[in-house]
A and B are shown apart, each in its own frame.
Chain A
């Protein structure tokens, strides 16, 4: 009897707690399972016999090949700044820190557009060279080459390396290295015997994470690699949406998912074993001031290439969005390049009478609408999930790793799964409007939980209990005690979810209806169409998206939460 009463009283809590599980089950596992089912059908049916195996092996090998190359390059680029940030104090350190957060939530489409604005055939650098040397063709031909892909991947992932490895390095007590030195170890042997072994877990997890990100890269390959290059992600997209060959897409997706699953499991394993107990350090010895010309030139050199790598593409984007080129000939007959707001004004006009053409402003409104819904869903479910995890119950231990799975899952596979599962009304990709924000929420939830969970766990239980003892109902306890403490974390999480939704491209390509594009989809459409006006509008729209994301980053940094270092 008593037992029964207990369950009845706990029923609302159980119901709330089960929501994140249910959400994941329906909107994450079900679609992915559908991909596997489709893959299974493909292997057993005639489909496989009808296609050349090359459709699968070529993208697979290229995916692995570019991921290895990108990862190696990222390590080379990321190593000096990681060392610099961990070991030295210098003017501009916090600026560099802020710089390294930019790529974290800068949408792939924006970055791709940025590199295009910098080095593309219509990029300002090529325009400048052409004007300067009176050339007919753009001299720099990097877009649609492997080089462009690698460059964008380095842009994205070197910050992961800097943050993960630099973070671990700054946690390393320099006294341990000193001790080794006084015991007769040369600097080289200190590195071999002490520093490297101690950094190895962080290095490995950074490399795995970077490899995973490169492996599942989609927009960068699609926008910067051009038609010549196809990774598994791109091939899934092509097979599903262009060739309408769902079985092959499913098969590719299954391969992709298996790979990412293994990588994710390896990564979470590593994260767990990483902890080496370190004694508290004397802050004055950890970061040293820069001294001597060697260190100074190292600092200047590293800072310069970091600034160029991170700032140049984004700066180019802004520059190019105001730089009116051949389009001007059509309008007023004048030639040459000049600065103008035309591309921005064009965003608000509907020039074409085409039925499928959507005015750019609509894409912006769509994105905002989806973004707000994503914030709602991700915050609500993320908050519940964070509470479940903080409860340290069996369910929490189960949910914690499961919740992180979407992080490593390819967005394209998720999109494909949605198409396969949700094809009957009311839950139909073609009509149900919430599937886009639901997919975005899946991507955003791991971040939301990672931000909220530590803060929730840090709220002393006594606080809640004393409020209840003082006569506050659970509802009032939440609003008057917990909520004010969690407020900053909630804002931070909301911003994160919002920016993720604004920038999400992979899943959205599958789910957004043609007449309801989001900003990234619109940018992609503009970029893939010829003409100066389209290009300019892509630049203008990317700039707007970039500024919104940059503002979010700055706000999140201002809120100073220990958030994005580890996930």
Chain B
């Protein structure tokens, strides 16, 4: 439906986007995930037509949008701080896009009401937007973007300005709304939890390119590289050198690891490589494989599991375990060879 091809953009002589390409399909929500300043919002602005790329194109239904002005693209855009019109009330804000289409008054009225119902804001119709709370403003902004039934919806950190509780509540609502509306959406965020909740697909942006573009499950199970792993909160990373490929053994500072998962393409004997020990990799049962000594630094109760922080050699790792472990003790552990990912270096 929407196709972004090889976007390049410099900002104050610094490359910001260095060849960004991705597609958005009908009915799909894609999350653009990256640190702040990584150029996520710029991509949205380019798609919307507010900014012009140095090179690269955006296609919508196979039509190049290059010469189509912002107001004729029929895309919805929701800004981080909502950009509600301060001189108009809730109704007028939402009706704005419909009025721009010169729809008859009663139809505008009907559509505004229906979208207000969708976001649960019927009784706020005539409020001034300045009198709304952050969460209410967010809903109005979403309603305003949805009302004209855009071909594509873009959301730029839509929950960024809200406190945590509200964010979690609205996250679920937003997810439902996006799936119900069937409008393809690009959702920009720096928060991986948000991205995992909302996105049908994640596109991870770092240093001007998309590092990985896959379903949340794939990203979680097989992060493309160490940066992705770290970014989505998998931080048990360890450098190593491939000692043998069959069986697969990697030498690290802690010791040798036997590994049962796939070697990345192009990796060969003697290459340096990153090990990702997954949170569930720890087992206390005696096993001959991957046995190490560790000092328990901390043990945190999470509800149904404990998160244990361990020191091995001079490195710290954290794992999820089902039983409490006493802090300070030195224990023997083993790492499940199926729960180790091999990742290419960040480069």
Distance from A476 Cβ to chain B, minimum over Cβ atoms (Å): 45
A189 within 8 A of B: yes
Given A197-B87, A276-B87, A182 and B96 contact (CB-CB distance below 8 Å): no
Distance from B332 Cβ to chain A, minimum over Cβ atoms (Å): 53
B34 within 8 A of A: no
Q: Once bound together, how far apart are the Cα atoms of A187 and B86, in whole Å?
A: 19
Question: Inter-chain contact count A-B, CB under 8 Å?
Answer: 74
Given A178-B50, A193-B96, A280 and B71 contact (CB-CB distance below 8 Å): no
> Are the CB atoms of A178 and B79 closer together than 8 Å?
yes
Q: 1/0 contact trace for B209-238 toward A, CB 8 Å?
A: 000000000000000000000000000000
Distance from B17 Cβ to chain A, minimum over Cβ atoms (Å): 15
> Are the CB atoms of A184 and B74 closer together than 8 Å?
yes
**A:145-192 near B, CB below 8 Å:** 173, 175-176, 178-187, 189
B77 within 8 A of A: yes
> Are the CB atoms of B48 and A185 closer together than 8 Å?
no
Given A182-B75, A182-B76, A184-B74, A175 and B97 contact (CB-CB distance below 8 Å): no
Question: Closest A-chain residue to B74, C-beta based?
Answer: A184
Main secondary structure of the interface of A (DSSP, over half): helix
> Are the CB atoms of A179 and B79 closer together than 8 Å?
yes
> Are the CB atoms of A194 and B130 closer together than 8 Å?
no
> Are the CB atoms of B85 and A194 closer together than 8 Å?
yes
A residues near B83, Cβ cutoff 8 Å: 173, 175-176, 178-179, 279
Q: Once bound together, how far apart are the Cα atoms of A280 and B83, in whole Å?
A: 10
> Are the CB atoms of A185 and B87 closer together than 8 Å?
no
B70 within 8 A of A: yes
> Are the CB atoms of B96 and A185 closer together than 8 Å?
yes
Q: Once bound together, how far apart are the Cα atoms of A173 and B87, in whole Å?
A: 13
Given A175-B81, A279-B81, A182 and B70 contact (CB-CB distance below 8 Å): yes
Question: Closest A-chain residue to B76, C-beta based?
Answer: A182
A2 within 8 A of B: no
Q: Once bound together, how far apart are the Cα atoms of A278 and B130, in whole Å?
A: 9
A residues near B97, Cβ cutoff 8 Å: 183-184
> Are the CB atoms of B86 and A277 closer together than 8 Å?
yes
Q: Once bound together, how far apart are the Cα atoms of A175 and B96, in whole Å?
A: 15
Q: Once bound together, how far apart are the Cα atoms of A184 and B130, in whole Å?
A: 23
A residues near B100, Cβ cutoff 8 Å: 183-185, 189
**B:67-92 near A, CB below 8 Å:** 69-77, 79, 81-87
> Are the CB atoms of B148 and A184 closer together than 8 Å?
yes
A198 within 8 A of B: yes
Given A182-B75, A185-B71, A176 and B50 contact (CB-CB distance below 8 Å): no
Please, how many residues of chain B have a CB less than 8 angstroms from a CB on the other chain?
A: 29
A residues near B77, Cβ cutoff 8 Å: 178-179, 182
B144 within 8 A of A: yes
B101 within 8 A of A: yes
Distance from B71 Cβ to chain A, minimum over Cβ atoms (Å): 5
Q: Once bound together, how far apart are the Cα atoms of A184 and B103, in whole Å?
A: 12
Q: Once bound together, how far apart are the Cα atoms of A173 and B85, in whole Å?
A: 10
Q: Once bound together, how far apart are the Cα atoms of A176 and B88, in whole Å?
A: 12
Task: Name A176's contact: one of B69, B74, B86 (CB within 8 Å).
Answer: B86
> Are the CB atoms of A181 and B71 closer together than 8 Å?
yes
B residues near A180, Cβ cutoff 8 Å: 85, 96
Given A180-B96, A183-B148, A276 and B86 contact (CB-CB distance below 8 Å): yes
Q: 1/0 contact trace for B28-58 toward A, CB 8 Å?
A: 0000000000000000010011100000000
Q: Once bound together, how far apart are the Cα atoms of A187 and B49, in whole Å?
A: 13
A residues near B130, Cβ cutoff 8 Å: 276-277
Question: Closest B-chain residue to A184, C-beta based?
Answer: B100
Question: Closest B-chain residue to A194, C-beta based?
Answer: B85
Question: Closest B-chain residue to A281, C-beta based?
Answer: B81
A residues near B96, Cβ cutoff 8 Å: 180, 183, 185, 193
Q: Once bound together, how far apart are the Cα atoms of A177 and B96, in whole Å?
A: 12
Q: Once bound together, how far apart are the Cα atoms of A277 and B76, in whole Å?
A: 24
Distance from A176 Cβ to chain B, minimum over Cβ atoms (Å): 5
Question: Closest A-chain residue to B48, C-beta based?
Answer: A182
Question: Closest A-chain residue to B82, C-beta based?
Answer: A279
Given A181-B71, A182-B70, A183-B144, A176 and B85 contact (CB-CB distance below 8 Å): yes
Q: Once bound together, how far apart are the Cα atoms of A181 and B51, in whole Å?
A: 12
Question: Closest A-chain residue to B131, C-beta based?
Answer: A277
B residues near A279, Cβ cutoff 8 Å: 81-83
Q: Once bound together, how far apart are the Cα atoms of A468 and B6, in whole Å?
A: 66
Q: B69, B79, B83 — which one has the most chain A CB atoms within 10 A of its CB?
A: B83
Q: Once bound together, how far apart are the Cα atoms of A450 and B75, in whole Å?
A: 47
A residues near B82, Cβ cutoff 8 Å: 279
A residues near B144, Cβ cutoff 8 Å: 179, 183
A residues near B50, Cβ cutoff 8 Å: 178, 181-182
B residues near A175, Cβ cutoff 8 Å: 79, 81, 83
Question: Closest B-chain residue to A288, C-beta based?
Answer: B51
B residues near A276, Cβ cutoff 8 Å: 86-87, 130
**A:252-301 near B, CB below 8 Å:** 276-280
**B:130-184 near A, CB below 8 Å:** 130, 144-145, 148
Distance from A228 Cβ to chain B, minimum over Cβ atoms (Å): 46
> Are the CB atoms of A181 and B70 closer together than 8 Å?
yes
Q: Once bound together, how far apart are the Cα atoms of A322 and B79, in whole Å?
A: 60
Distance from A250 Cβ to chain B, minimum over Cβ atoms (Å): 45
Given A181-B70, A184-B97, A278 and B79 contact (CB-CB distance below 8 Å): no
Task: Name A280's contact: one of B72, B81, B101 (CB within 8 Å).
Answer: B81
Q: Once bound together, how far apart are the Cα atoms of A477 and B205, in whole Å?
A: 56
Question: Closest A-chain residue to B41, C-beta based?
Answer: A282
Question: Closest B-chain residue to A280, C-beta based?
Answer: B81
What would 28 A/B residue contacts be, using CB atoms closer than 8 Å?
A: A173-B81, A175-B81, A176-B83, A178-B45, A178-B79, A178-B83, A179-B144, A180-B96, A182-B73, A182-B76, A182-B77, A183-B71, A183-B97, A183-B144, A183-B145, A183-B148, A184-B71, A184-B72, A184-B74, A184-B148, A185-B96, A186-B69, A193-B96, A194-B85, A276-B86, A278-B86, A279-B82, A280-B81
- Closest 6 interchain pairs by CB? A183-B97, A184-B100, A175-B83, A182-B77, A181-B70, A179-B83
20 new A-B contacts at CB < 8 Å, known A182-B70, A184-B74, A197-B87: A173-B81, A173-B83, A175-B83, A176-B83, A178-B45, A179-B77, A181-B49, A181-B70, A182-B71, A182-B76, A183-B100, A183-B148, A184-B100, A185-B71, A186-B71, A187-B71, A189-B100, A277-B130, A278-B86, A279-B83
Interface residues of A (CB under 8 A from B): 173, 175-176, 178-187, 189, 193-194, 197-198, 276-280
